[in-house]
Chain A
Amino acid sequence: MSEVYLNGKFVGSVENPVEFVDHIITERRKNSLANNINVRYDQENDEVYVESSKGRLRRPAIVVRDGKPLLTEKQVSQLEKKEITWDDLVNQGIVEYLDAAEEENALVAFKEEDLTPQHTHLEVTPLAILGLCTSLVPYANFSPTARINAGSKNQKQALGFYAANYHIRMDMDVNLLDYSQIPIVQSIMHPISDYDKHPSGQNLVVAIMSYKGYNMEDSIILNKASIERGLGRSIYYRPAIAEELRYSGGLVDEISVPDKEVKGYKSERDYRFLEEDGIISPEVFVQEGDVIIGKSSPPRFLSGMEEYNLTSNLRRESSINIKHGEQGIIDFVMLTENEEGNKLVQVRLRDARIPEVGDKFTSRHGQKGVVGLIVGHTNMPFSSTGIIPDLIFSSHSVPSRMTMSHLIELIAGKTGALSARYVDGTTFDAEPEEQLRKELLSMGFKENGTETMYNGISGEQFQAKIFIGNMYYLKLKHMVANKIHSRARGPIQLLTRQPTEGRAKEGGLRLGEMEKDTFVAHGASLLLKERFDSDRVIVPICEKSGLIGYVDARKGKAISPVLGEDSDMSYVEMSYAFKLLLDELKSIGVYPKIELENKF
């Protein structure tokens, strides 16, 4: 007796599990059972699992009986003529969806030629073992899985044309590639996914060689002239949002040019781009600190001292301004209302992103790299036919990663470009490499894709023949303009008086615990102290009570917190973090008494 589980719950047992499972499968194929049912017999534990729950990953396969697929040529041609649909095949039990469990009991043939009587299924196409993104990698069957995975992941970060209505959308962090192209080397997934409607890369002339060492360790070299012709140019959009919030007591925010009376008023210069309605006008070039939406908020909830303060009834300045390190042109201004009926202003900032040193590019084969140098057209190497590469890729990136598909795409791209056609690079059934080589040869090029090239600086001929061809390159969304950061002095945290953290807050780079240890290990004691001086304070300490006092500015004298003026006060330098620790100790009822003595 084998136990039967339906969606993981025990429902009963059967005498003959194999027959039982076969019966379910036949009924499902006859369409008398729902086709979302999957069943599996686990021989080892003698248990049958029937699954109909949602959330299982399933994939289609053609049913095979006695070593022959049920799908006939006739049905294929009917499909092509759109006389029948895919669903018909599923309903007729010709194609069925397997889940991970049922696959365990199935033997799926990769190609029709491989079929034997033992096989139960046939792949619809070998490409079906890959997902959508991975199917877009050409010649993927020539590279290691890890690289193909990296390649398909990189495609998700590529700049392209994400939505046709981008000009009325207010998405965060939008990148659009200016001159996107359809890849020369395609897979059948490209037309299926309408890739020509939203391409995300450009066909570049790529030379695999070294150039003064500026393309070592996965960096790449770009041709300046190519950039000037639009290589890798993109547009970056970022919206700013301001809302007229309603507060208790009928108070509201006001979007307008702030009044000079407002608390926190910047300077007239900062508001110079605002129109009468307090909103900036489109096509204005703005830089860090400029106000784009003027706004003022009602005073904060009155508390403590402020109640007696005459100036406290002023409104607060709460304008939206361009953040540190950002710049751009105001692209679009939108006035609307949100769900609560509050006035909502959205302003979109546009910034042209021209490739620069540090921007990230990749081919479709997991061969990502960062721009190491931009070389003027005059200094780029050139071929005997006068071809100048757009991009120089390092040969050292290939052997250890074994991305043969990268090299084959280069040949395929070259063939495609020269014969003005698209090359089918579909994984598992692409145009064979030999054929491409023959075609290259027939067009008067070397069949291995290499060419005689000349040093762009000296004009000398290179001894080696350079492998050069066309490849589809993607610009990835990681650009230096969004990441570059430095700080010498800058904002500090209120609580600890230490520098803030992170680029957005213009923060410092932390000299951490382990870095500190290296200073100690070198015995660089005073250098270490200097590095940790960011929150240095000088506090008066009462020599009798050992507590931190304060300075009475009127008397110009340090006062002890417990003994008043009847104590000797000494000024001691320490980190503010330690002063804070002492305060926190006091708050838990511990009396941290500092005993002073002469250091020397």
Chain B
Amino acid sequence: MHNEIFKEYESKLPMGIINDLKQRVPSNFSQAKLKKVLELACEEYELMKVDAGEAVGLLSAESIGEPGTQMTLNTFHFAGVAEMNVTTGLPRIIEILDCTKSLATPMMEIHLESPYNKGKEIKEFAESIKENRLKHIASEFTVNVAKAAVDVTLSQEKLTALKLTVPSVVKAIESMRGIVVKADGNIVTIKPKGKEEAINEVFKLKDKVKEIYISGVKGITQVLPIKKEEEFIIVTAGSNMKEVLQIEGVDAEKTITNDIIEIAQVLGVEAARQSVINEVKKVIDAQGLNVDLRHIMLVADTMTVTGNIKGLTRYGIVSEKASVLARASFETPLKHIIEASISGETDYLNSVVENVMLNQPVPVGTGLPGLVTKNNKKEEKAKYL
């Protein structure tokens, strides 16, 4: 019986509210009463809707911008031995909204499949993800002047910890061009190819050799296994989602990164949009501020409507604006005006900024509706002057 009445209102109310009411309304409720409740819900729902002509974008901008002025420049610290710094506060917000390509502190939270998520071999697992360069596994680099070569002493401890062998390391080193590698026990001798190299070339080589990639996931510079709500996860400094998701034992559904561009590339725009919302919310919550989620959603939506993620910069969404004057009023005005004049652009004065410039009523709020009347005079001459 109730269901029929509910069905009637499905077009008027969103499913979320209807389902909510379905659960809460007692089964012995009379039909008349239920109708009254639903009517009231409709009324309330209509009231909660944003009015036509409301400047939602500007309201969002003000609602995010005002608390933004209160944000302080503090960084959040992890407790533990290997401490990691994370950009939060205003710098992080700017990073997210501008869609910065290289983040100050890229980070991943790697969730694991059983049995690793119970803490089994978590340390070893974490270490295997961490990027290792030659400097990480070597205990000493010396320049052998007599041989005109670099002697690298590998640390046996680290080799066993990373399950590496001398030949595998040698192989990895050989990926670098223009060198000859020889191994003698734990000592690897690297010699520049070609004869009679100047000694300072060898010194240069010593620094180059340190950065040779050996093992692990590129870009992950630090790993930190931590327990988060009954589950072990690995927090990393540095991010490389594409590679990490392919590792066996990684829960690809839960693993996330704070690099939104990477998310857009690996998981697509919808994931990126959600990630923008989550990341901004994380910062705002951490600062103890209160911003309605829908403001952030609107920002995330404008950043992602085109199907690609775009920052709130002159290269990003501002460049998408239809109005020349609006673009010019943001940054680099001359550039926009000259480009517009070359292609003969027309500004239809449909948005706010242009109309403020011209001192015309802006098309929001009371400026939006027009009034149509009959004009008796054939041609009304200007009565000005």
CB-CB under 8 A for A578 and B358, given A520-B352, A571-B382, A585-B337: yes
B-side contacts of A526, CB under 8 Å = 361, 366-367
Cα separation A591 to B341 with both chains bound (whole Å): 7
Cα separation A532 to B358 with both chains bound (whole Å): 10
Cα separation A365 to B49 with both chains bound (whole Å): 55
Nearest to A574 among chain B residues (CB) is B358
Task: Kindly state whether residue B53 has any CB partner on chain A within 8 Å.
Answer: yes
Q: A505-549: which have CB < 8 Å to B? A: 516-518, 520-526, 528-529, 532-533, 535-536, 538
Task: Kindly state whether residue B32 has any CB partner on chain A within 8 Å.
Answer: no
Nearest to B337 among chain A residues (CB) is A590
Nearest to A553 among chain B residues (CB) is B385
Contact of A520 among B341, B364, B370 (CB under 8 A): B364
Verify A570–B382 contact, CB threshold 8 A: yes
Verify A578–B359 contact, CB threshold 8 A: yes
Cα separation A198 to B87 with both chains bound (whole Å): 55
Q: Encode B178-215 as 1/0 by CB contact (under 8 A) with A.
A: 00000000000000000000000000000000000000
Verify B365–A581 contact, CB threshold 8 A: no
CB-CB under 8 A for A523 and B371, given A528-B362, A570-B382, A578-B359: no
Verify B365–A522 contact, CB threshold 8 A: yes
Task: Kindly state whether residue B372 has any CB partner on chain A within 8 Å.
Answer: yes
Cα separation A581 to B329 with both chains bound (whole Å): 12
CB-CB under 8 A for A516 and B356, given A523-B55, A524-B366, A590-B337: yes
B-side contacts of A171, CB under 8 Å = none
A-side contacts of B366, CB under 8 Å = 523-526
Task: Kindly state whether residue A575 has any CB partner on chain B within 8 Å.
Answer: yes
Contact of B359 among A523, A533, A551, A588 (CB under 8 A): A533
Task: Kindly state whether residue A301 has any CB partner on chain B within 8 Å.
Answer: no
A591 to B: closest C-beta gap in Å:
7
Verify A575–B357 contact, CB threshold 8 A: yes
Verify B360–A574 contact, CB threshold 8 A: yes
Verify B385–A590 contact, CB threshold 8 A: no
Q: A447-462: which have CB < 8 Å to B? A: none
B-side contacts of A589, CB under 8 Å = 341
Task: Kindly state whether residue B368 has any CB partner on chain A within 8 Å.
Answer: yes
Task: Kindly state whether residue A501 has any CB partner on chain B within 8 Å.
Answer: no
B-side contacts of A551, CB under 8 Å = 385
Nearest to A535 among chain B residues (CB) is B359
CB-CB under 8 A for A525 and B341, given A551-B385, A575-B359: no
Number of interface residues of B (CB under 8 A): 32
Q: Encode A129-148 as 1/0 by CB contact (under 8 A) with B.
A: 00000000000000000000
Task: Kindly state whether residue B59 has any CB partner on chain A within 8 Å.
Answer: yes
Q: Encode A281-309 as 1/0 by CB contact (under 8 A) with B.
A: 00000000000000000000000000000
Verify A523–B356 contact, CB threshold 8 A: no
Task: Kindly state whether residue B62 has any CB partner on chain A within 8 Å.
Answer: yes
CB-CB under 8 A for A517 and B62, given A523-B53, A525-B363, A526-B367: yes
A-side contacts of B25, CB under 8 Å = none
Contact of B55 among A521, A529, A600 (CB under 8 A): A521
Cα separation A447 to B352 with both chains bound (whole Å): 68
Nearest to B366 among chain A residues (CB) is A525
Verify A520–B359 contact, CB threshold 8 A: no
B-side contacts of A528, CB under 8 Å = 356, 361-362
B-side contacts of A590, CB under 8 Å = 337-338, 341
Verify A523–B358 contact, CB threshold 8 A: no
Verify A523–B384 contact, CB threshold 8 A: no
Nearest to A517 among chain B residues (CB) is B58
Contact of A529 among B54, B359, B382 (CB under 8 A): B359
Cα separation A533 to B359 with both chains bound (whole Å): 7
Verify A600–B58 contact, CB threshold 8 A: no
Contact of A532 among B359, B368, B371 (CB under 8 A): B359
Task: Kindly state whether residue B346 has any CB partner on chain A within 8 Å.
Answer: yes
Verify A532–B54 contact, CB threshold 8 A: no
Task: Kindly state whether residue A196 has any CB partner on chain B within 8 Å.
Answer: no
Verify A523–B364 contact, CB threshold 8 A: yes
A-side contacts of B357, CB under 8 Å = 575, 577-578, 581
B-side contacts of A523, CB under 8 Å = 53-55, 364-368
Q: Encode B49-80 as 1/0 by CB contact (under 8 A) with A.
A: 00001110011011000000000000000000
Task: Kindly state whether residue A66 has any CB partner on chain B within 8 Å.
Answer: no
Verify A571–B341 contact, CB threshold 8 A: no
Task: Kindly state whether residue A22 has any CB partner on chain B within 8 Å.
Answer: no
A-side contacts of B334, CB under 8 Å = 588
- Candidate in B358, B367, B371, B384 with the most chain A CB atoms within 10 angstroms: B358
Contact of B365 among A524, A578, A591 (CB under 8 A): A524
Contact of A538 among B346, B352, B367, B385 (CB under 8 A): B385
Task: Kindly state whether residue A573 has any CB partner on chain B within 8 Å.
Answer: yes
Q: Encode A563-578 as 1/0 by CB contact (under 8 A) with B.
A: 0000000110111011
Task: Kindly state whether residue A595 has any CB partner on chain B within 8 Å.
Answer: yes
A548 to B: closest C-beta gap in Å:
13
Cα separation A538 to B383 with both chains bound (whole Å): 11
Contact of B362 among A520, A575, A578 (CB under 8 A): A520
Verify A529–B364 contact, CB threshold 8 A: no
A-side contacts of B61, CB under 8 Å = 517
A-side contacts of B59, CB under 8 Å = 521
Cα separation A517 to B362 with both chains bound (whole Å): 11
CB-CB under 8 A for A571 and B384, given A517-B58, A521-B58, A524-B365: yes
B-side contacts of A595, CB under 8 Å = 346
Cα separation A573 to B366 with both chains bound (whole Å): 19
Verify A600–B370 contact, CB threshold 8 A: yes
Cα separation A600 to B55 with both chains bound (whole Å): 22
Verify A525–B58 contact, CB threshold 8 A: no
A-side contacts of B346, CB under 8 Å = 595
B-side contacts of A591, CB under 8 Å = 341
Cα separation A410 to B363 with both chains bound (whole Å): 62
A-side contacts of B370, CB under 8 Å = 599-600
Cα separation A573 to B352 with both chains bound (whole Å): 17
Cα separation A521 to B337 with both chains bound (whole Å): 28
Cα separation A577 to B362 with both chains bound (whole Å): 17
A-side contacts of B365, CB under 8 Å = 520, 522-525
CB-CB under 8 A for A525 and B362, given A517-B62, A590-B341, A595-B346: yes
Subset of 18 A-B contacts with CB under 8 Å? A520-B55, A520-B362, A521-B58, A523-B55, A525-B361, A525-B362, A525-B363, A525-B366, A525-B367, A529-B359, A573-B384, A577-B357, A585-B337, A590-B338, A595-B346, A599-B370, A600-B370, A600-B372
The 5 closest A-B pairs by CB, nearest first: A523-B365, A525-B367, A575-B359, A571-B382, A590-B341
Give A contacts to B, CB under 8 Å. 516-518, 520-526, 528-529, 532-533, 535-536, 538, 551, 570-571, 573-575, 577-578, 581, 585, 588-591, 595, 599-600
7 further A-B contacts with Cβ under 8 Å, apart from A532-B359, A590-B338, are: A517-B58, A525-B362, A529-B367, A578-B359, A585-B337, A588-B334, A590-B341
